[in-house]
Amino acid sequence: MLEQFQALARTIGILDVIDTGLVAFFLYRIYIMLKNTRAAALVKGLMVLAALVIVSKWLNLHVINWILEKAMTMMMVALPVVFQPELRRALEQIGRGRLFRKRVELDEAELNDMIEAVANAAVIMGQRKVGALIVFERAVGLEERIETGIKIDGLVTDSLLLNIFEKDTPLHDGAVIIRGNRIIAASCLLPLTDARGLSQELGTRHRAAIGISEQSDALVVVVSEETGTVSVTRNGEIYRYLRREDVVDMLQSAFVGNNHFTLKQMILEKLDKIRNKNEKEANDVKQIVKPGGKS
C-alpha cells in the first residue's frame, strides 16, 4: 500500500500541483460567486439530475435515462439565458475583480470616519427628504459606471455628500461611487433591476440601487426623497427602514470583514434583541423587505 502511494507520488510533478491548485482556486471562486444567488439552487438541481442520470443508467432504465439526458441538455442550453446577470457578474469579477485590481486598503480609523460620514449624511438627508444614492465599490470594479458620471476624487465627508445631493445642484441626479474612502464620481448612471414584485414605493432610484448590487458585489445606501427612509442594498436584496446605527453596523460588517455573518442574519438578530426588550420598537424597525415583497 505504502509502495503504491510512493509510486503514485513519484508520478506527480510540479505542473500537476499547479494545475490542480488552479482548478481548486477557480472552483472555489465560482462557489463564492454562486453562494447566496439564484444560481446556487439551480446548480443543486443540476447535481440531482446528474445523479438521477447515473442511477437510471446503472439500473438500465433506458426511457427514463433518455428523458433525463435530454432534460440536462435543455437545461445546459437554457442556463446562459436564464442566468445572464449572474454570469455577467461572474465574468466581471474574474476580469476586473481581485485578481487584477489593486484594492484600496484603509486603516480602521479611516474606515470608521468614512462609515460615520456616510451614515450621518444619510440620516440628515432622510430628515430633509433629500434623495441620495451612494455606491461602495468593492472587489468588482465599477469603472464602466464611473465613466457615466462626473469624476470628483474627494475624501468622503458628510458635508461633501450633503453638498452633492443638495436639490437643484448640478451633481444631485444619479449615484455617487465611493472607492476606499474617496468619492470617485457623482451623477453616475446605474443599471435598473428588472426584479418583479417590488413594492410600489420603490421607483427608479431604488431599482438602480438593487440593479448595481445584483450585477456586482457593491453595497449601496439609498435615501428616499419621497419618504426620507434609508435603505441598503446588497446582493440584489434591499433592507429598508434603517436607523443610523443599522447603517453603521451594515457598513462595518461589510468592510471590516465579518463575512461569515450575513446582513440578513445581523438584522434578524438585532430585531430579536429589540423585540425582547421592547415590542413596540421592533415594529418600527421592520427592516427586511426582499425584492419579492416578502418581509
Ligand X SMILES: Nc1ncnc2c1ncn2[C@@H]1O[C@H](COP(=O)(O)OP(=O)(O)OP(=O)(O)O)[C@@H](O)[C@H]1O
**Contact residues for ligand X (CB under 6 A)?**
131, 133, 173-175, 189-190, 192, 202-206, 208, 224-226
The smaller minimum CB distance to ligand X, of residues 65 and 224, is found at 224
Cβ at position 237, least distance to ligand X in Å: 16
Closest-CB residue for ligand X?
Answer: 203
The CA–CA distances, whole Å, from 254 to 32, 59, 92, 115 equal 15, 49, 20, 11
The smaller minimum CB distance to ligand X, of residues 180 and 203, is found at 203
Cβ at position 193, least distance to ligand X in Å: 10
Cβ at position 270, least distance to ligand X in Å: 24
- CB-based contacts of 66, cutoff 8 Å, min separation 6: none
The smaller minimum CB distance to ligand X, of residues 114 and 209, is found at 209
Cβ at position 245, least distance to ligand X in Å: 22
Beta bridge partners of 182: 155, 179
Looking only at the bridges linking them, the beta strands covering 182-188 and 219-223 are unpaired
Report the residue count for the chain: 295
Cβ at position 166, least distance to ligand X in Å: 12
Q: Torsion-angle region of residue 226: left (phi > 0), alpha (psi -120 to 50) or beta?
A: alpha
Q: What is the distance between the alpha carbons of residues 119 and 33, in angstroms, rounded to a whole number?
A: 28
- To the nearest 10 degrees (0 to 180), the angle between helices 108-128 and 244-255 is 150
The smaller minimum CB distance to ligand X, of residues 68 and 242, is found at 242
Cβ at position 246, least distance to ligand X in Å: 18
Cβ at position 142, least distance to ligand X in Å: 12
Residue matched to cell numbers 484603509: 106
Of 202, 263, 213, which is closest to residue 235 (Cα–Cα)? 213
Q: Please calculate the CA angle 199-200-202 and round it to the nearest 5 degrees.
A: 75
Q: What is the distance between the alpha carbons of residues 108 and 236, in angstroms, rounded to a whole number?
A: 27
The smaller minimum CB distance to ligand X, of residues 129 and 182, is found at 129
The smaller minimum CB distance to ligand X, of residues 113 and 166, is found at 166
Cβ at position 113, least distance to ligand X in Å: 26
The smaller minimum CB distance to ligand X, of residues 138 and 205, is found at 205
The smaller minimum CB distance to ligand X, of residues 119 and 223, is found at 223
Q: What is the distance between the alpha carbons of residues 103 and 176, in angstroms, rounded to a whole number?
A: 19
Phi and psi dihedrals of 111, rounded to 5? -65, -45
